[in-house]
Structure 1
Amino acid sequence: MSDPMRSRASLRTAVVREVLQDALERRAEATGRQALDVLDTGGGSGNFAVPLARLGHRVTVVDPSPNALFALERRAAEAGVADRVQGVQGDARGLFDVAERGGYDAVLCHGVLEYVDDPAEGVRNAVAALRPGGVLSLLAAGLGGAVLARALAGHFTEARQALDDPNGRWGTGDPVPRRFTADQLTALVEGAGLRVGAVHGVRVFADLVPGVLVDTEPGALDALLKLEAAAAELAAFHSVATQLHVLGETRGTSGA
Protein backbone atom coordinates (compact mmCIF):
# COMPACT_ATOMS: atom_id res chain seq x y z
CA MET A 1 0.00 0.00 0.00
CA SER A 2 1.32 3.48 -0.85
CA ASP A 3 2.12 6.03 1.83
CA PRO A 4 -0.52 8.82 1.48
CA MET A 5 1.75 11.47 2.98
CA ARG A 6 4.58 10.58 0.61
CA SER A 7 2.11 10.61 -2.29
CA ARG A 8 0.92 14.13 -1.51
CA ALA A 9 4.48 15.34 -0.85
CA SER A 10 5.65 14.07 -4.22
CA LEU A 11 2.81 15.92 -5.94
CA ARG A 12 3.89 19.16 -4.29
CA THR A 13 7.57 18.92 -5.17
CA ALA A 14 8.02 16.68 -8.24
CA VAL A 15 7.93 19.40 -10.91
CA VAL A 16 10.28 21.75 -9.05
CA ARG A 17 12.73 18.97 -8.17
CA GLU A 18 12.98 17.86 -11.79
CA VAL A 19 13.53 21.40 -13.09
CA LEU A 20 16.10 22.12 -10.40
CA GLN A 21 17.95 18.86 -10.93
CA ASP A 22 18.21 19.54 -14.66
CA ALA A 23 19.52 23.06 -13.99
CA LEU A 24 22.15 21.75 -11.58
CA GLU A 25 23.24 19.09 -14.07
CA ARG A 26 23.80 21.81 -16.67
CA ARG A 27 25.71 23.89 -14.16
CA ALA A 28 27.88 20.93 -13.17
CA GLU A 29 28.66 20.21 -16.80
CA ALA A 30 29.54 23.84 -17.47
CA THR A 31 31.85 24.13 -14.47
CA GLY A 32 33.33 20.62 -14.48
CA ARG A 33 32.39 20.32 -10.81
CA GLN A 34 30.00 17.53 -9.86
CA ALA A 35 29.60 18.81 -6.29
CA LEU A 36 28.01 22.25 -6.39
CA ASP A 37 27.42 24.76 -3.60
CA VAL A 38 23.71 25.39 -3.00
CA LEU A 39 22.07 27.92 -0.68
CA ASP A 40 18.52 27.15 0.44
CA THR A 41 16.92 30.22 1.99
CA GLY A 42 13.96 29.35 4.19
CA GLY A 43 14.80 25.70 3.60
CA GLY A 44 13.13 24.50 6.79
CA SER A 45 13.55 20.82 7.57
CA GLY A 46 15.26 20.00 4.29
CA ASN A 47 12.57 18.97 1.80
CA PHE A 48 14.87 20.08 -1.00
CA ALA A 49 18.22 20.26 0.79
CA VAL A 50 18.48 16.60 1.72
CA PRO A 51 17.62 15.24 -1.76
CA LEU A 52 20.14 17.67 -3.28
CA ALA A 53 22.78 16.52 -0.82
CA ARG A 54 22.03 12.92 -1.82
CA LEU A 55 23.00 13.95 -5.36
CA GLY A 56 26.39 14.98 -3.99
CA HIS A 57 25.93 18.72 -3.63
CA ARG A 58 26.88 20.81 -0.59
CA VAL A 59 23.81 22.59 0.78
CA THR A 60 23.60 25.46 3.26
CA VAL A 61 20.11 25.97 4.69
CA VAL A 62 19.20 29.36 6.17
CA ASP A 63 16.00 29.38 8.23
CA PRO A 64 14.75 31.50 11.15
CA SER A 65 13.27 28.52 13.01
CA PRO A 66 15.50 26.58 15.44
CA ASN A 67 12.98 23.74 15.42
CA ALA A 68 13.15 23.45 11.64
CA LEU A 69 16.94 23.43 11.74
CA PHE A 70 16.90 20.72 14.39
CA ALA A 71 14.62 18.63 12.17
CA LEU A 72 16.96 19.32 9.23
CA GLU A 73 19.96 18.05 11.19
CA ARG A 74 18.14 14.87 12.14
CA ARG A 75 16.83 14.31 8.63
CA ALA A 76 20.26 14.80 7.07
CA ALA A 77 21.81 12.36 9.55
CA GLU A 78 19.17 9.74 8.82
CA ALA A 79 19.84 10.15 5.09
CA GLY A 80 23.60 9.81 5.59
CA VAL A 81 24.37 13.28 4.22
CA ALA A 82 25.07 15.22 7.42
CA ASP A 83 28.54 16.11 6.10
CA ARG A 84 27.00 17.86 3.09
CA VAL A 85 24.21 19.80 4.82
CA GLN A 86 24.76 22.81 7.06
CA GLY A 87 21.92 24.60 8.82
CA VAL A 88 22.26 28.18 10.05
CA GLN A 89 19.70 30.41 11.71
CA GLY A 90 18.86 33.57 9.78
CA ASP A 91 16.46 35.14 7.29
CA ALA A 92 16.38 36.63 3.81
CA ARG A 93 16.80 40.22 4.97
CA GLY A 94 20.00 39.52 6.91
CA LEU A 95 21.15 36.81 4.53
CA PHE A 96 24.78 37.89 4.37
CA ASP A 97 25.16 37.81 8.11
CA VAL A 98 25.17 34.03 7.78
CA ALA A 99 25.84 33.29 4.09
CA GLU A 100 28.59 34.14 1.63
CA ARG A 101 27.97 36.83 -0.96
CA GLY A 102 28.66 35.49 -4.46
CA GLY A 103 29.50 32.04 -3.13
CA TYR A 104 26.85 29.67 -4.54
CA ASP A 105 26.09 27.89 -7.79
CA ALA A 106 22.38 27.85 -7.01
CA VAL A 107 20.09 29.63 -4.59
CA LEU A 108 16.68 28.29 -3.61
CA CYS A 109 14.12 30.85 -2.50
CA HIS A 110 11.07 28.69 -1.83
CA GLY A 111 8.13 29.93 0.20
CA VAL A 112 10.00 33.05 1.29
CA LEU A 113 8.68 35.98 -0.74
CA GLU A 114 5.18 35.55 0.67
CA TYR A 115 6.45 36.51 4.13
CA VAL A 116 9.17 39.13 3.65
CA ASP A 117 8.43 42.85 3.93
CA ASP A 118 10.09 43.63 0.60
CA PRO A 119 9.99 40.83 -2.01
CA ALA A 120 12.24 42.76 -4.41
CA GLU A 121 14.91 43.05 -1.71
CA GLY A 122 14.56 39.33 -0.98
CA VAL A 123 15.17 38.46 -4.62
CA ARG A 124 18.10 40.89 -4.89
CA ASN A 125 19.75 39.31 -1.86
CA ALA A 126 19.27 35.83 -3.31
CA VAL A 127 20.80 36.94 -6.61
CA ALA A 128 23.73 38.58 -4.83
CA ALA A 129 24.57 35.19 -3.31
CA LEU A 130 25.04 33.63 -6.75
CA ARG A 131 28.28 33.02 -8.59
CA PRO A 132 28.44 34.10 -12.26
CA GLY A 133 26.47 31.55 -14.25
CA GLY A 134 24.51 30.46 -11.19
CA VAL A 135 20.78 29.78 -11.06
CA LEU A 136 17.94 31.00 -8.87
CA SER A 137 15.02 28.72 -8.05
CA LEU A 138 12.07 30.87 -6.96
CA LEU A 139 8.86 29.28 -5.68
CA ALA A 140 5.94 31.32 -4.36
CA ALA A 141 2.20 31.14 -3.79
CA GLY A 142 0.10 31.79 -6.90
CA LEU A 143 -2.82 34.21 -6.83
CA GLY A 144 -5.01 32.35 -9.31
CA GLY A 145 -4.82 29.07 -7.45
CA ALA A 146 -6.08 30.68 -4.25
CA VAL A 147 -8.96 32.41 -6.03
CA LEU A 148 -9.98 29.17 -7.71
CA ALA A 149 -9.76 27.18 -4.47
CA ARG A 150 -11.94 29.63 -2.54
CA ALA A 151 -14.52 29.70 -5.34
CA LEU A 152 -14.70 25.91 -5.61
CA ALA A 153 -15.20 25.73 -1.85
CA GLY A 154 -18.22 28.03 -2.20
CA HIS A 155 -16.50 31.06 -0.65
CA PHE A 156 -17.27 33.41 -3.53
CA THR A 157 -16.90 36.66 -1.60
CA GLU A 158 -13.46 35.58 -0.37
CA ALA A 159 -12.48 34.54 -3.90
CA ARG A 160 -13.41 38.01 -5.17
CA GLN A 161 -11.55 39.66 -2.30
CA ALA A 162 -8.39 37.73 -3.11
CA LEU A 163 -8.76 38.72 -6.74
CA ASP A 164 -9.07 42.42 -5.86
CA ASP A 165 -6.64 42.59 -2.94
CA PRO A 166 -3.17 43.98 -3.86
CA ASN A 167 -1.53 41.15 -1.91
CA GLY A 168 -3.92 38.44 -3.05
CA ARG A 169 -5.38 37.81 0.40
CA TRP A 170 -8.93 36.49 0.78
CA GLY A 171 -9.51 37.89 4.29
CA THR A 172 -8.11 38.52 7.75
CA GLY A 173 -7.97 34.79 8.42
CA ASP A 174 -5.79 34.13 5.39
CA PRO A 175 -2.53 32.56 6.62
CA VAL A 176 -0.58 33.68 3.53
CA PRO A 177 0.47 37.35 3.65
CA ARG A 178 1.11 37.72 -0.08
CA ARG A 179 0.53 35.91 -3.38
CA PHE A 180 1.87 36.52 -6.87
CA THR A 181 1.07 36.24 -10.54
CA ALA A 182 3.60 34.81 -12.98
CA ASP A 183 4.17 38.30 -14.40
CA GLN A 184 4.94 39.71 -10.97
CA LEU A 185 7.49 36.98 -10.21
CA THR A 186 9.23 37.24 -13.56
CA ALA A 187 9.40 41.02 -13.13
CA LEU A 188 11.11 40.55 -9.76
CA VAL A 189 13.64 38.15 -11.27
CA GLU A 190 14.37 40.38 -14.25
CA GLY A 191 14.51 43.44 -12.00
CA ALA A 192 17.30 41.76 -10.04
CA GLY A 193 19.31 41.34 -13.24
CA LEU A 194 18.59 37.73 -14.10
CA ARG A 195 17.28 36.16 -17.27
CA VAL A 196 14.12 34.09 -16.84
CA GLY A 197 14.97 30.58 -17.97
CA ALA A 198 11.59 28.97 -17.32
CA VAL A 199 8.25 29.46 -15.57
CA HIS A 200 6.24 26.54 -14.24
CA GLY A 201 2.85 26.16 -12.63
CA VAL A 202 3.03 23.90 -9.56
CA ARG A 203 0.11 21.98 -8.05
CA VAL A 204 -2.22 22.90 -10.89
CA PHE A 205 -4.50 19.92 -10.24
CA ALA A 206 -3.10 18.27 -7.11
CA ASP A 207 -4.87 20.53 -4.61
CA LEU A 208 -8.20 20.17 -6.41
CA VAL A 209 -8.29 16.37 -6.67
CA PRO A 210 -9.81 14.50 -3.68
CA GLY A 211 -7.00 12.87 -1.71
CA VAL A 212 -8.83 9.55 -1.55
CA LEU A 213 -8.47 9.18 -5.33
CA VAL A 214 -4.72 9.66 -5.21
CA ASP A 215 -4.27 7.42 -2.19
CA THR A 216 -6.44 4.47 -3.22
CA GLU A 217 -6.98 4.38 -6.99
CA PRO A 218 -4.38 2.13 -8.70
CA GLY A 219 -2.05 4.18 -10.88
CA ALA A 220 -3.71 7.48 -9.96
CA LEU A 221 -0.60 9.03 -8.42
CA ASP A 222 1.63 8.33 -11.42
CA ALA A 223 -1.04 9.56 -13.82
CA LEU A 224 -1.55 12.76 -11.84
CA LEU A 225 2.21 13.36 -11.63
CA LYS A 226 2.44 13.06 -15.41
CA LEU A 227 -0.50 15.43 -15.84
CA GLU A 228 1.10 17.98 -13.50
CA ALA A 229 4.38 17.76 -15.42
CA ALA A 230 2.64 18.20 -18.76
CA ALA A 231 0.64 21.23 -17.60
CA ALA A 232 3.47 22.89 -15.66
CA GLU A 233 5.13 24.53 -18.66
CA LEU A 234 1.91 25.68 -20.34
CA ALA A 235 1.22 29.36 -19.70
CA ALA A 236 -2.52 28.71 -19.82
CA PHE A 237 -2.27 26.85 -16.50
CA HIS A 238 0.00 29.32 -14.69
CA SER A 239 -3.01 31.45 -13.81
CA VAL A 240 -4.65 28.64 -11.80
CA ALA A 241 -1.61 27.05 -10.16
CA THR A 242 -1.36 26.94 -6.37
CA GLN A 243 2.33 27.83 -6.66
CA LEU A 244 4.52 29.35 -9.33
CA HIS A 245 8.13 28.42 -10.00
CA VAL A 246 10.56 30.68 -11.83
CA LEU A 247 14.07 29.63 -12.79
CA GLY A 248 16.39 32.60 -13.10
CA GLU A 249 19.82 32.48 -14.69
CA THR A 250 22.65 34.94 -14.25
CA ARG A 251 23.93 36.72 -17.31
CA GLY A 252 27.60 36.18 -16.46
CA THR A 253 29.91 33.39 -17.53
CA SER A 254 28.99 29.84 -16.56
CA GLY A 255 32.42 28.76 -15.46
CA ALA A 256 33.65 28.11 -11.94
Structure 2
Amino acid sequence: MSDPMRPRASLRTAVVWDVLKDALDRRVKTTGRDALDVLDTGGGSGNFAVPVARLGHRVTVVDPSPNALFALERRTAEAGVADRVTGVQGDALGLFDVVERGGYDAVLCHGVLEYVDDPAEGIRNAIGALRPSGVLSLLAAGLGGAVLARAIAGHFTEARHALTDPDGRWGEGDPVPRRFTTEQLTGLVEAAGVRVDAVHGVRVFADLVPGVLVDTEPGALEALLKLEAAAAEQPAFHSVATQLHVLGEKRGTAEA
Protein backbone atom coordinates (compact mmCIF):
# COMPACT_ATOMS: atom_id res chain seq x y z
CA MET A 1 0.00 0.00 0.00
CA SER A 2 2.56 2.54 -1.12
CA ASP A 3 0.18 5.49 -1.44
CA PRO A 4 -1.08 5.78 2.14
CA MET A 5 1.92 3.98 3.59
CA ARG A 6 4.71 6.34 2.59
CA PRO A 7 7.00 7.33 5.46
CA ARG A 8 5.53 10.29 7.38
CA ALA A 9 2.33 10.18 5.28
CA SER A 10 1.63 6.83 6.92
CA LEU A 11 1.27 8.63 10.26
CA ARG A 12 -1.76 10.44 8.86
CA THR A 13 -3.41 7.48 7.15
CA ALA A 14 -2.32 4.17 8.67
CA VAL A 15 -5.01 3.84 11.35
CA VAL A 16 -7.84 4.77 8.98
CA TRP A 17 -6.51 2.59 6.19
CA ASP A 18 -6.25 -0.52 8.37
CA VAL A 19 -9.81 -0.07 9.66
CA LEU A 20 -11.20 0.70 6.21
CA LYS A 21 -9.51 -2.26 4.53
CA ASP A 22 -10.91 -4.64 7.15
CA ALA A 23 -14.40 -3.17 6.67
CA LEU A 24 -14.19 -3.57 2.90
CA ASP A 25 -13.00 -7.15 3.27
CA ARG A 26 -16.00 -7.90 5.50
CA ARG A 27 -18.33 -6.27 2.99
CA VAL A 28 -16.89 -8.48 0.24
CA LYS A 29 -17.71 -11.57 2.29
CA THR A 30 -21.20 -10.29 3.09
CA THR A 31 -22.14 -9.47 -0.49
CA GLY A 32 -20.29 -12.32 -2.17
CA ARG A 33 -18.91 -9.83 -4.70
CA ASP A 34 -15.15 -9.47 -5.18
CA ALA A 35 -15.45 -5.90 -6.51
CA LEU A 36 -17.36 -3.32 -4.49
CA ASP A 37 -18.68 0.07 -5.59
CA VAL A 38 -16.99 2.70 -3.41
CA LEU A 39 -17.70 6.43 -3.29
CA ASP A 40 -15.00 8.80 -2.02
CA THR A 41 -16.50 12.23 -1.34
CA GLY A 42 -13.88 14.96 -1.25
CA GLY A 43 -11.37 12.34 -2.34
CA GLY A 44 -8.99 14.83 -3.91
CA SER A 45 -6.00 13.33 -5.68
CA GLY A 46 -6.73 9.79 -4.54
CA ASN A 47 -4.92 9.18 -1.24
CA PHE A 48 -7.49 6.51 -0.44
CA ALA A 49 -9.08 5.95 -3.85
CA VAL A 50 -5.89 4.55 -5.37
CA PRO A 51 -5.18 1.93 -2.69
CA VAL A 52 -8.89 0.98 -2.59
CA ALA A 53 -8.80 0.47 -6.36
CA ARG A 54 -5.67 -1.64 -5.98
CA LEU A 55 -7.79 -4.03 -3.92
CA GLY A 56 -9.90 -4.52 -7.05
CA HIS A 57 -12.82 -2.25 -6.17
CA ARG A 58 -14.49 0.37 -8.38
CA VAL A 59 -14.09 3.88 -6.94
CA THR A 60 -15.92 7.09 -7.79
CA VAL A 61 -14.20 10.23 -6.48
CA VAL A 62 -16.27 13.38 -6.07
CA ASP A 63 -14.29 16.57 -5.49
CA PRO A 64 -14.99 20.25 -6.19
CA SER A 65 -11.43 20.97 -7.36
CA PRO A 66 -10.56 20.47 -11.05
CA ASN A 67 -6.87 20.51 -10.14
CA ALA A 68 -7.36 17.68 -7.65
CA LEU A 69 -9.25 15.65 -10.22
CA PHE A 70 -6.51 16.22 -12.77
CA ALA A 71 -3.95 15.00 -10.24
CA LEU A 72 -6.20 12.01 -9.54
CA GLU A 73 -6.27 11.10 -13.23
CA ARG A 74 -2.49 11.23 -13.45
CA ARG A 75 -2.03 9.29 -10.23
CA THR A 76 -4.42 6.50 -11.17
CA ALA A 77 -2.69 6.12 -14.52
CA GLU A 78 0.69 5.82 -12.84
CA ALA A 79 -0.71 3.26 -10.39
CA GLY A 80 -2.33 1.21 -13.16
CA VAL A 81 -5.86 1.56 -11.79
CA ALA A 82 -7.31 4.19 -14.14
CA ASP A 83 -9.94 1.73 -15.34
CA ARG A 84 -11.30 1.35 -11.81
CA VAL A 85 -11.35 5.01 -10.69
CA THR A 86 -13.73 7.69 -11.98
CA GLY A 87 -13.40 11.32 -10.97
CA VAL A 88 -16.34 13.72 -11.12
CA GLN A 89 -16.57 17.36 -10.10
CA GLY A 90 -19.05 18.06 -7.32
CA ASP A 91 -19.48 18.41 -3.58
CA ALA A 92 -21.22 16.74 -0.66
CA LEU A 93 -24.20 19.08 -0.60
CA GLY A 94 -24.92 18.56 -4.29
CA LEU A 95 -23.89 14.92 -4.27
CA PHE A 96 -26.88 13.49 -6.11
CA ASP A 97 -26.40 15.85 -8.99
CA VAL A 98 -23.40 13.74 -9.97
CA VAL A 99 -23.79 10.26 -8.41
CA GLU A 100 -26.52 7.69 -7.88
CA ARG A 101 -28.50 7.60 -4.66
CA GLY A 102 -28.19 4.24 -2.89
CA GLY A 103 -25.62 2.93 -5.37
CA TYR A 104 -22.54 2.21 -3.24
CA ASP A 105 -21.28 -0.49 -0.91
CA ALA A 106 -19.04 1.95 0.95
CA VAL A 107 -18.78 5.72 1.21
CA LEU A 108 -15.68 7.56 2.37
CA CYS A 109 -16.35 11.01 3.80
CA HIS A 110 -12.88 12.17 4.80
CA GLY A 111 -12.08 15.81 5.54
CA VAL A 112 -15.44 17.02 4.25
CA LEU A 113 -17.68 17.93 7.19
CA GLU A 114 -15.22 20.57 8.41
CA TYR A 115 -15.83 22.60 5.27
CA VAL A 116 -19.48 22.18 4.25
CA ASP A 117 -22.05 24.79 5.26
CA ASP A 118 -24.38 22.15 6.72
CA PRO A 119 -22.59 19.11 8.20
CA ALA A 120 -25.88 17.33 8.95
CA GLU A 121 -26.94 17.57 5.31
CA GLY A 122 -23.48 16.52 4.17
CA ILE A 123 -23.58 13.35 6.26
CA ARG A 124 -27.18 12.61 5.24
CA ASN A 125 -26.13 12.75 1.60
CA ALA A 126 -23.12 10.51 2.20
CA ILE A 127 -25.36 7.96 3.89
CA GLY A 128 -28.02 8.37 1.21
CA ALA A 129 -25.49 7.14 -1.34
CA LEU A 130 -25.09 3.84 0.54
CA ARG A 131 -26.83 0.59 -0.20
CA PRO A 132 -28.55 -1.12 2.75
CA SER A 133 -25.92 -2.33 5.23
CA GLY A 134 -23.26 -0.32 3.38
CA VAL A 135 -20.14 0.95 5.14
CA LEU A 136 -19.56 4.57 6.12
CA SER A 137 -16.02 5.78 6.82
CA LEU A 138 -16.12 9.28 8.30
CA LEU A 139 -13.01 11.28 9.15
CA ALA A 140 -13.16 14.79 10.56
CA ALA A 141 -11.08 17.27 12.55
CA GLY A 142 -11.14 16.74 16.31
CA LEU A 143 -11.58 19.62 18.72
CA GLY A 144 -9.33 18.30 21.48
CA GLY A 145 -6.31 17.83 19.25
CA ALA A 146 -6.40 21.47 18.16
CA VAL A 147 -6.70 22.70 21.73
CA LEU A 148 -3.77 20.57 22.85
CA ALA A 149 -1.60 21.60 19.90
CA ARG A 150 -2.19 25.32 20.47
CA ALA A 151 -1.47 24.97 24.19
CA ILE A 152 1.77 23.04 23.65
CA ALA A 153 2.86 25.71 21.17
CA GLY A 154 2.36 28.31 23.90
CA HIS A 155 -0.77 29.88 22.39
CA PHE A 156 -2.86 29.56 25.52
CA THR A 157 -5.45 32.19 24.64
CA GLU A 158 -6.08 30.52 21.28
CA ALA A 159 -6.37 27.13 22.98
CA ARG A 160 -9.00 28.48 25.36
CA HIS A 161 -10.82 30.20 22.50
CA ALA A 162 -11.10 26.89 20.62
CA LEU A 163 -12.58 25.27 23.71
CA THR A 164 -15.39 27.81 23.91
CA ASP A 165 -15.98 28.55 20.22
CA PRO A 166 -19.12 26.85 18.81
CA ASP A 167 -17.14 25.66 15.78
CA GLY A 168 -13.98 24.78 17.69
CA ARG A 169 -11.87 27.44 15.97
CA TRP A 170 -8.92 29.03 17.76
CA GLY A 171 -9.17 32.41 16.02
CA GLU A 172 -9.60 34.34 12.78
CA GLY A 173 -6.44 32.83 11.34
CA ASP A 174 -7.60 29.26 11.87
CA PRO A 175 -7.65 27.52 8.46
CA VAL A 176 -10.18 24.89 9.61
CA PRO A 177 -13.79 26.18 9.61
CA ARG A 178 -15.14 23.60 12.05
CA ARG A 179 -14.05 20.86 14.45
CA PHE A 180 -15.99 18.15 16.24
CA THR A 181 -16.11 16.15 19.43
CA THR A 182 -16.72 12.41 19.36
CA GLU A 183 -20.25 12.95 20.64
CA GLN A 184 -21.03 15.45 17.90
CA LEU A 185 -19.83 13.17 15.11
CA THR A 186 -21.50 10.01 16.37
CA GLY A 187 -24.69 12.01 16.96
CA LEU A 188 -24.74 13.20 13.35
CA VAL A 189 -24.14 9.68 12.07
CA GLU A 190 -26.73 7.98 14.23
CA ALA A 191 -29.36 10.64 13.48
CA ALA A 192 -28.87 9.95 9.76
CA GLY A 193 -29.52 6.22 10.11
CA VAL A 194 -26.12 4.62 10.61
CA ARG A 195 -25.13 2.27 13.39
CA VAL A 196 -21.75 3.29 14.80
CA ASP A 197 -19.46 0.26 14.94
CA ALA A 198 -16.21 1.92 16.02
CA VAL A 199 -14.58 5.25 16.78
CA HIS A 200 -10.85 5.83 16.41
CA GLY A 201 -8.56 8.66 17.37
CA VAL A 202 -6.21 9.57 14.51
CA ARG A 203 -2.89 11.38 14.91
CA VAL A 204 -3.00 11.30 18.68
CA PHE A 205 0.78 11.76 18.98
CA ALA A 206 2.03 12.24 15.41
CA ASP A 207 1.44 16.01 15.25
CA LEU A 208 3.11 16.58 18.62
CA VAL A 209 6.31 14.60 18.10
CA PRO A 210 9.25 16.57 16.61
CA GLY A 211 9.66 15.64 12.96
CA VAL A 212 13.43 15.40 13.26
CA LEU A 213 13.02 12.61 15.82
CA VAL A 214 10.78 10.56 13.54
CA ASP A 215 13.02 11.13 10.52
CA THR A 216 16.39 10.44 12.11
CA GLU A 217 15.95 8.12 15.09
CA PRO A 218 16.26 4.46 13.95
CA GLY A 219 12.97 2.62 14.35
CA ALA A 220 11.12 5.73 15.57
CA LEU A 221 8.59 5.81 12.73
CA GLU A 222 7.61 2.18 13.12
CA ALA A 223 7.36 2.52 16.91
CA LEU A 224 5.20 5.64 16.57
CA LEU A 225 2.92 3.89 14.09
CA LYS A 226 2.43 1.04 16.56
CA LEU A 227 1.72 3.52 19.35
CA GLU A 228 -0.85 5.34 17.22
CA ALA A 229 -2.57 2.04 16.39
CA ALA A 230 -2.67 1.03 20.05
CA ALA A 231 -4.06 4.37 21.21
CA ALA A 232 -6.58 4.77 18.38
CA GLU A 233 -9.21 2.51 19.93
CA GLN A 234 -8.80 3.83 23.47
CA PRO A 235 -11.64 6.28 24.28
CA ALA A 236 -9.35 8.19 26.65
CA PHE A 237 -7.28 9.37 23.67
CA HIS A 238 -10.17 10.34 21.40
CA SER A 239 -10.49 13.68 23.16
CA VAL A 240 -6.94 14.71 22.22
CA ALA A 241 -6.72 13.30 18.69
CA THR A 242 -6.15 15.62 15.74
CA GLN A 243 -8.80 13.72 13.79
CA LEU A 244 -11.67 11.41 14.67
CA HIS A 245 -12.66 8.43 12.58
CA VAL A 246 -16.14 6.92 12.77
CA LEU A 247 -16.90 3.60 11.11
CA GLY A 248 -20.54 2.61 10.74
CA GLU A 249 -23.07 0.56 8.85
CA LYS A 250 -26.26 1.83 7.24
CA ARG A 251 -29.29 0.30 8.87
CA GLY A 252 -31.08 -2.03 6.50
CA THR A 253 -31.12 -5.49 5.03
CA ALA A 254 -27.88 -6.81 3.60
CA GLU A 255 -27.83 -7.52 -0.11
CA ALA A 256 -26.91 -10.80 -1.69
Give the TM-score, by structure 1 length: 0.97
Which residue does 1:131 correspond to in 2? Answer: 131
Unaligned runs of 5+ in 1: none
1:75-90 alignment, distance < 5 Å: 75-90=75-90
Which residue does 2:7 correspond to in 1? Answer: 7
Residues 112-165 of structure 1: CA distance to partner in whole angstroms, max 9, x if unpaired?
Answer: 000001100000000000001101100000000000000000000000000000
Which residue does 1:176 correspond to in 2? Answer: 176
For residue 155 of structure 2, what is the amino acid of its counterpart?
Answer: H
In structure 1, distance between residues paired with 2:191 and 2:251:
13
In structure 2, distance between residues paired with 1:61 and 1:55:
16
Query: How far apart are residue 79 of structure 1 and its match?
Result: 0.2
In structure 1, distance between residues paired with 2:86 and 2:15:
25
For residue 139 of structure 1, what is the amino acid of its counterpart?
Answer: L
Q: Which runs of 4+ in 1 moved over 6 A?
A: none
Query: How far apart are residue 255 of structure 1 and its match?
Result: 2.0
| SS class of match (1:237) | helix
Query: How far apart are residue 250 of structure 1 and its match?
Result: 1.2
In structure 2, distance between residues paired with 1:230 and 1:6:
20
Q: What is the count of residue pairs matched by the alignment? A: 252
Which residue does 2:219 correspond to in 1? Answer: 219
**Once the two structures are aligned, what percentage of the paired residues are identical?**
86
Which residue does 2:50 correspond to in 1? Answer: 50
Tell whether 2:129 aligns with 1:122.
no
1:15-164 alignment, distance < 5 Å: 15-164=15-164
Residues 163-191 of structure 1: CA distance to partner in whole angstroms, max 9, x if unpaired?
Answer: 00000000000000000000000000000
Query: How far apart are residue 39 of structure 1 and its match?
Result: 0.2
Q: Judge conservation of contact 1:36–1:57 (CA < 8 Å) in 2.
A: yes
Which residue does 1:241 correspond to in 2? Answer: 241
| SS class of match (1:47) | coil
In structure 1, distance between residues paired with 2:78 and 2:24:
24
Q: Judge conservation of contact 1:143–1:162 (CA < 8 Å) in 2.
A: yes
Residues 65-90 of structure 1: CA distance to partner in whole angstroms, max 9, x if unpaired?
Answer: 00000000000000000000000000
Give the TM-score, by structure 2 length: 0.97
In structure 2, distance between residues paired with 1:56 and 1:20:
14
In structure 2, distance between residues paired with 1:45 and 1:164:
34
For residue 8 of structure 2, what is the amino acid of its counterpart?
Answer: R
In structure 2, distance between residues paired with 1:139 and 1:250:
16
For residue 139 of structure 2, what is the amino acid of its counterpart?
Answer: L
Unaligned runs of 5+ in 2: none
| SS class of match (2:7) | helix
Query: How far apart are residue 254 of structure 1 and its match?
Result: 2.1
